[in-house]
Amino acid sequence: MKINILTLFPEYFEQFKLQSIIAKAIKLGHLELNIIDFRKFSDDKHNKVDDTVYGGGSGMLLQVKPIHEALKTVPNSYKVLLSPQGKLFNQTEAHRLAKYDELTLICGHYEGFDERILNFVDEELSIGDYILTGGEIAAMVVAEATARLCPGVIKKESHENESFEGNGLLDYPQYTKPYDYLGYKVPDVLLSGNHKDIQKWREEQAYLKTKKNRKDIIKKLERKKDE
């Protein structure tokens, strides 16, 4: 898979490419990460890519032309504008994006984008209902969540048992040594060797954790069940 990231701050991604699963995926040839500084596509002598807002308003807006020109260099990719106005990104969306051979993520800054940019992208995505200074962190979130699902990046069974996968619940509690830490002990069922009982316990605990921390997921699953 190839992921292009259009940004004004390519240095944000220097360490990102060298860490953990992303670095491993690049080394194994499963992922190509292409960072594009769209400031280089400005026709302004100072490489300016923003301007004042028509109709008045505070802040500066990213211009359409530099981004459109940058997108012309990745014509065969699926193009995603990272924006607070986009559809909410989740694990289902990560699976969908992972099916593309080439993906382009566009990072915003300032007060946002000239609306006409939407004519040159395939969709808008948001990583949550909050405001960030720029789209670089959002791009890292989408890139990692998507790349780790590509074949060969991690073992299939590893991500199938994680939160939001399979039955849609949060992950069950997990423990390692020591057995007893300051009186907090590992549940005995996990030491029983009875795989049937362990699986049952994990399913129950996943449900209880989800019910406690994410009631919205439980309600969603109940609605699906009633349909």
Gap between the Cα atoms of 86 and 67, Å rounded: 18
131 belongs to an annotated ligand binding site: yes
Report the alpha-carbon distance of residue 46 to residue 70 in Å, rounded. Answer: 17
Q: Is 135 annotated as a binding residue?
A: no
* 89: DSSP letter: P
Q: Provide the 10 A C-beta neighbour count for residue 35.
A: 18
* Residue 22 labeled ligand binder: no
Q: How far apart are CA 111 and CA 134, in angstroms?
A: 9
Confirm or deny that 18 is annotated as ligand binding: no
E strand or H helix that includes residue 32: strand 32-37
* 8 A C-beta contact, residue 122 and residue 78: yes
- 1: tokens are 């898979």
127 annotated to bind ligand? yes
Is residue 142 within a helix (H) or strand (E), and if so which, with residue range? helix 136-147
Report CA Rg, the chain: 22
Q: Give yes or no for a contact between 35 and 13, defined as CB atoms under 8 angstroms apart.
A: yes
CA–CA dist 14, 26 (Å, integer): 13
Instruction: Tell me if 43 is assigned to a ligand binding site.
Output: no
Strand bridging mode 184-185 / 180-181: antiparallel
Q: Is 134 labeled as ligand-binding?
A: no
Q: Which residues are annotated as a binding site for S-adenosyl-L-methionine?
A: 108, 127-132
Q: Which residues are annotated as a binding site?
A: 108, 127-132
